[in-house]
Amino acid sequence: MMRRILLVCSLLWSFNVLSSVIQDKLFVGLGAGYGSSDWSYLCSAVPEVQLASPSKAVDQGVSANLFAQYIFSPYSSLRVNYESLPDAKITFEAHNIYPQFHFKKTTITSSTQVLGVAYEFMLPVYRQRYYAFSDLGIAATHRQDVLATQWHWGPLFGGGLGWHQRNFLAELGFQYSAGSAKATMQPADDYIPFTYDVFVQMGVKV
């Protein structure tokens, strides 16, 4: 009986210590910026190529993100973030070969979101409050429109400058995630945008 009581007390104490450690280093927050779900790799001004590729795309605008960041030390942290890129307006000419468009000039809306996990290397600049950082991780990019709904895993890169106090964190940075393109008869069916984002984000300790 005494052993069970001691075990329970030990587990409660360990949980309390772990919670205090995590809470002292875990930040959550949100941000906004200017981003692009880049369709330019697929667009073409050549009429013959426009049979299978869009003629133009408007894919830049305001982006938004949510993040959680666990700071291991003044030199490293782990970040999980969800990013919503601006919707892309993609135009296909009338002579396209996509049966969904009934051989008419068509503009579709494509939405892109990125879920990323990255290890952040931090270089303190002044009293460990200001720092430069670079991110390296993996991203799951989600594309959704009338042609396709699919996910793609790829590398994620980023960098910027940050400011960190006991209860508050702010960062100015950029993020890039790699997409995918395939040489097929209908390449727009399989295309995953390459995403770019310049952002400001702020978080609080939880």
Indicate if the alpha-carbon torsion angle 13, 19, 20, 25 is positive or negative: positive
Q: Which helix (H) or strand (E) holds 153?
A: strand 149-164
Query: What is the model's pLDDT at position 18?
Result: 37
Query: What residues contact residue 130 under an 8 Å CB cut-off, 6+ apart?
Result: 124, 161, 162, 163, 164
Structure tokens, 156: 């994620």
This model's pTM is above 0.95: no
Q: In terms of DSSP bridges, do strands 76-84 and 60-73 run parallel, antiparallel, or are they unpaired?
A: antiparallel
26-80 pLDDT per residue, tens: 999 999 999 999 998 889 899 889 899 999 999 999 999 999 999 998 899 999 9
Per DSSP, the three-state class of 173 is: strand
8-state DSSP, 192: B
Average pLDDT, rounded, for the chain: 87
**How many other CB atoms sit within 10 Å of the CB of residue 119?**
14
